Amino acid sequence: MSVHPRAGQPAQRADLVDVPHLITSYYAEHPDPADPAQQVAFGTSGHRGSSLRRSFNEDHIVAVSQAICEYREHQGYRGPLFVSKDTHALSEPATVSALEVFAANGVTVLIDSRDGYTPTPALSHAILTNRHRGADGVVVTPSHNPPADGGFKYNPPHGGPADTDATKWIQDRANALLADGLRGVRRIPYARALAAGTTERFDFVGAYVDDLPSVIDIEAIRAAGVRIGADPLGGASVAYWAEIADRHKLDLTVVNPVVDPTFGFMTLDWDGRIRMDCSSPYAMASLIGKRADYQVATGNDADADRHGIVTPDAGLMNPNHFLAVAIDYLYRQRDGWPAGTAIGKTLVSSSMIDRVAEDLGRTLIEVPVGFKWFVPGLLDGSVGFGGEESAGASFLRRDGSVWTTDKDGILLCLLASEIVATTGRSPSEHYGDLVARHGAPAYARVDVASTREEKVVLGRLSPEQVTATELAGEPITAKLTAAPGNGAAIGGLKVVTASGWFAARPSGTEDVYKVYAESFQGPEHLARIQEEARGVVSAALRSA
């Protein structure tokens, strides 16, 4: 991927979205139900799109909201529905549209008591602490996507991302409603929806912030006086970080408390676009420049389900590196966790985690991409930590019970501070210890152009279709099209050797397939793996 010449530089006026035009398009533009690009499409994180492309308009939201009401009825869900939103410009009107439909269907809805923004982990926490009421929820967010995008996702009563059975049902029903001109949508005006007896208020901020000592050693952070700089990147965590500092008396500075739907304070991402990706050194350039001011500096994306960790000695940590450090620390420090508690990782996360798990004597559960695969284990406590290479993770409370079943970027940022407080060393210094013990992996992801037909074939490959026996000079030890941790299809291919691996998965939004690769022999060996991976995949596609 070529890097834009202005990547990492402050956004300029010409880079900013026209918010009035965006909002007008939300209401005035209508999707063509026959155009696949304008239909409801639930990916791993719900439906996403832009009103400017007729892929996230009011029609979509009222159709999806009605479909969720009918899905809840079909499943027998009678509890309250928590509704939260992030700071993207389309999140506010989409929330209003959704509430009009939920109220008309008689659904008891809980919205923020402060009329503020709510991170995804705070919603998951609210659902789980209200399990006795049979709660579920909706998050209006496109995560780290650019400012012109909107997103809408559903979390069932287990608190985590909805599984495919739920998302397909909701998606199909929503598209049927669109095709029928929305005649099956029930809806009342917003003022009536707010006045309806079914709309209640909930203190998301207080419930989440007050409960943090049950999962993080807040006392240790406070006692050590760790200097923390937290950058919400203009997202939903802005009020949470201020509240955390105040309630728990931490030396914590909210680096940028500004909320602006254009996100004009951002530095441009690798492709020259504004994107609130806290794992990107380009999007995080401003905070990285302040790294000497804090012992730990942290960033979150717009719905705070992702984390970025900046240390004085290393700058922005690679997400894989911090996941490995977090796992090593937690499984040595959390004496309230049962000895049999396993470690969860996605199959494209670093094999450093495999080596850490072996060193800890813990079971490693490797699952396909998607945080939903960690939900059952986190819920029953059999998995202590679940993490993805895209900087998303969560873990159990200190007593071994569930905290959240969705990604929690705030939690992982606070964990970095706890590590500094209890060990006196930065997470990046701890990663240096892991490298000395287990070796230094080189890791990268590249995109390879492919046709839509090739992507379909790649997603359905079987191990027998891979005829190669060696990869970058080493015998192939495993050819995987199903995850070893749960047997679920990975929608692609993973090939493993003693000191390296690659995984190839089709993109859900572009005509490319993504190649993740890693080598413990260094960058040159990694380059060989990447090059040969294309040949292995091409040969498998030809044989299919």
Catalytic residue numbers read: 143
Cα–Cα distance, 252 to 296 (Å, whole number): 10
The length of the chain is: 544
Element (H, E) at 534: helix 523-543
Quickly list DSSP for 423-480.
HSS-HHHHHHHHHHHH---EEEEEEEE--HHHHHHHTT--GGG----EETTEE--EEE
Pairing mode of beta strands 364-367, 342-346: parallel
Cβ neighbours around 340 below 10 Å, total? 10
Burial class (CB in 10 A: 0-12, 13-18, 19+), 78: exposed
Tell me how many degrees the CA angle 137-142-145 measures, rounded to the nearest 5. Answer: 160
Please identify which residue in the block is written with the tokens 């379909």.
456
Q: Which of 296, 258, 303 is nearest to 122 (CA)?
A: 303
Three-class SS state of 485:
coil
Residue 357 DSSP symbol? H
Cα–Cα distance, 340 to 334 (Å, whole number): 13
Answer whether 41's CB lies under 8 Å from 64's CB. Answer: no
Cα–Cα distance, 217 to 397 (Å, whole number): 10
Q: Which of 60, 448, 91 is nearest to 235 (CA)?
A: 91
Which tokens is 386 given? 């679940």
Answer whether 99's CB lies under 8 Å from 111's CB. Answer: yes
Cα–Cα distance, 63 to 97 (Å, whole number): 10
